[in-house]
Amino acid sequence: MATIKQALISVSDKAGIVEFSQQLIALGVRILSTGGTAKLLRENGLEVVEVSDYTGFPEMLDGRVKTLHPKIHGGLLGRRDLPEHVAKMAEHNIEAIDMVVVNLYPFAETIAKPNCAFADAIENIDIGGPTMLRSAAKNYGAVTVIIEPDDYAPIIAEMQANNGAISPESNFSLAKKVFQSTAAYDASIANYLGRFPRPDAHPLEQYFLPETFTWQGTKAQDLRYGENPNQRAAFYKDPKIDEPCISNAVQLQGKELSFNNILDSNAAFELVKEFKEPAAVFIKHTNPCGAATSTSKSLADILRQARACDPISAFGGIVALNQEVDKESAEVLAETFLEAIIAPGFSAEARDILVTKTALRLLEAPLLEEFQASGLEVKKVVGGFLLQERDLKEAPSDKWLTVSNREPSPQELATLQFSWKICKHVKSNAIVLAADNHLVGVGAGQMSRIDSVNISVMKALVPTTGSVLASDAFFPFRDGIDAAAKAGVTAIIQPGGSNRDDEAIAAANEHNMVMIFTGNRHFKH
């Protein structure tokens, strides 16, 4: 156990620091402090020793140099269990510092401000703070290091229970937190600076993606296994994301989520987030196998219509909804074996029904009225990774181009809009058939587009006559259009951009079909 006799406190985030310092002093701890922190503590009647008085060296260079001194770092790094360290500290009048309480300049918050000046970003790179934290964390056997205000209360409680001492286990836990935090801090600096070819680079000259990229996640849970039982796995979360998503969903009941459950739940929820109107989605192996939306039907009827697309594939799947699950909807959901349901909420009556499905996982992820979807996605390959923007950009439908002779009817246009949202979330080559704002058939992940068209027709359990078709990329040949026409498809939406677009348009006109070009491809590998 390490007894705390002297603490160094220097914080940017002043929340709770006065009360914490009062409790330390009550436990007999002497406090060293700097600048604004020392001023705040004195204003609240606490006795503190300025670091500059302790070191005999003035704070200088606009505060850039204040704690970078042998009397500070010797007091942090000196091993109390090594006689030669103890003797050398005594020779140079270096006192042991038993606790460090530091949090860092707000670099991430600074660069997040609109039009942040490069010079302001540089000034908010903390040097002394990380150095003290790392010194203290390295010597965790003798030094307690605190970087988060949330740790103040448990540390005081432990000291009160142990005559002012902290256990090695607590010190090690705090030291790990420090290295995790300073790694994230350095990563944000490196990612930011890596976008600049030179300090005065104009925004148009800056790299969108940095020269190196570092991402840090916080382990949410160890998983039983990965995609297969022979693979170990864990789930990590990005602590900075505030968009409604699988990572900040709360599990209300059911077995522990598996690797595949998380992937499928993410796919389901990201798809249902495309819709403002009430919607339901069934997912199997990250592909939609049922979807429907309506402003006039009950949520239960929307679920029934979504499931009717492919009830066989829906078995053992994941369902996502963008409305609270009510009693009638829960009764519909309980009719099919499902791995998980993710929704903004569940009524008490719905919970009473679904709780009987003891293995069923219920995930609650409240949908905000307005949220800004943003960020990057990473795809790992052996020996490296690919980094890209999320596929969030979409031209509004009034910017789409009708290239066929016939214009879409209002009903066709509404269903084309629905099918285009669904198609974006189907693995390439992707073909979606839809009618009256519900999914009719899906062809996913095929090596040729004509195969995807044929599979979407084959999978349809209802007549495809009068349906519309969405394709995630252009048609390289007219065969896919001819096959769609044979199935009774009346309208096609696709990005366009093929050297054979004229052939595709001509085929659509021959069949009196609508063809719309969006100008935006949605490959999903």
Residue 55 has pLDDT above 80, yes or no: no
Query: 35-43 and 17-26 helices cross at what angle (nearest 10)?
Result: 70
- Give the Cα-Cα-Cα angle 8, 12, 15 (nearest 5 degrees): 90
State mean pLDDT over 8-31: 93
Residue 78 has pLDDT above 90, yes or no: no
- 145 vs 89, more confident: 145
Task: Please indicate, yes or no, if residue 483 is contained in any of the structural domains.
Answer: yes
SS3 364: strand
Task: Please indicate, yes or no, if residue 415 is contained in any of the structural domains.
Answer: yes
Task: Please indicate, yes or no, if residue 211 is contained in any of the structural domains.
Answer: no
Residue 83 has pLDDT above 90, yes or no: no
Q: Are residues 42 and 175 located together in one domain of the fold? A: yes
For strands 514-517 and 361-364, give the pairing. Answer: unpaired
pLDDT tens-place string over residues 386-435:
999 899 888 888 899 999 999 999 999 999 999 999 999 999 999 999 99
What pTM was estimated for this model as a whole? Answer: 0.86
- Give the Cα-Cα-Cα angle 161, 165, 167 (nearest 5 degrees): 95
Alpha-carbon 252 to chain mean position: 20
User: 150, 165, 193: which is the final residue of a domain?
Assistant: 193
User: 193, 217, 238: which is the final residue of a domain?
Assistant: 193
Within 206-322, where are the H helices? 259-272, 299-308, 311-314
pLDDT tens-place string over residues 270-289:
999 999 999 999 999 999 99
Residue 272: which of 288, 253, 254, 284 has the closest Cα? 288
- 382 vs 61, more confident: 382
User: 168, 193, 218: which is the final residue of a domain?
Assistant: 193
Q: How many domains in the chain?
A: 3
Q: Are residues 189 and 63 located together in one domain of the fold? A: yes
- What is the structure's pLDDT at 126? 87
As given in the structure block, the two tokens for residue 38 are 């020392």
Q: Are residues 87 and 163 located together in one domain of the fold? A: yes
Q: Are residues 413 and 506 located together in one domain of the fold? A: yes
Q: Are residues 356 and 415 located together in one domain of the fold? A: no
pLDDT above 90 covers what percent of the chain? 71
Task: Please indicate, yes or no, if residue 525 is contained in any of the structural domains.
Answer: no
Cα distances from 263 to residues 222, 267, 317, 376, in angstroms, run 15, 6, 12, 17
Residue 349 is part of which domain span? 251-364
User: Is 255 designated active site?
Assistant: no
- What is the structure's pLDDT at 516? 97
Task: Please indicate, yes or no, if residue 221 is contained in any of the structural domains.
Answer: no
Q: Are residues 340 and 463 located together in one domain of the fold? A: no
Task: Please indicate, yes or no, if residue 207 is contained in any of the structural domains.
Answer: no
* Residue 60, strand partner residues: 65
User: Is 138 designated active site?
Assistant: yes
Residue 268: which of 219, 303, 297 has the closest Cα? 303
- 321 vs 79, more confident: 321
Query: Which domain CATH number covers 459?
Result: 3.40.140.20
Q: Are residues 409 and 350 located together in one domain of the fold? A: no
- What is the structure's pLDDT at 57? 67
Q: Are residues 166 and 108 located together in one domain of the fold? A: yes
Note whether 5 and 30 are within 8 A (CB): yes
Residue 62 has pLDDT above 70, yes or no: no
- What is the structure's pLDDT at 114? 85
pLDDT tens-place string over residues 129-174:
898 899 999 999 999 999 999 999 999 999 999 999 999 999 999 9
Task: Please indicate, yes or no, if residue 85 is contained in any of the structural domains.
Answer: yes
Of 85, 255, 285, 524, the active-site residue reads 285
Q: Are residues 167 and 50 located together in one domain of the fold? A: yes
SS3 93: coil
Query: Which domain CATH number covers 128?
Result: 3.40.50.1380
Task: Please indicate, yes or no, if residue 22 is contained in any of the structural domains.
Answer: yes
- Give the Cα-Cα-Cα angle 435, 437, 443 (nearest 5 degrees): 60
Residue with tokens 């969006």: 518
As given in the structure block, the two tokens for residue 37 are 């922190």
- What is the structure's pLDDT at 65? 64
Q: Are residues 26 and 148 located together in one domain of the fold? A: yes
Residue 241 has pLDDT above 90, yes or no: no
- What is the structure's pLDDT at 246? 94
Residue 214: which of 192, 236, 199 has the closest Cα? 192
Residue 368 has pLDDT above 80, yes or no: no
Q: Are residues 307 and 179 located together in one domain of the fold? A: no
- What is the structure's pLDDT at 66? 64
Of 5, 85, 138, 327, the active-site residue reads 138
Cβ neighbourhood burial of 382 (10 Å; 0-12, 13-18, 19+): exposed
Mean of all residue pLDDT scores within the chain: 92
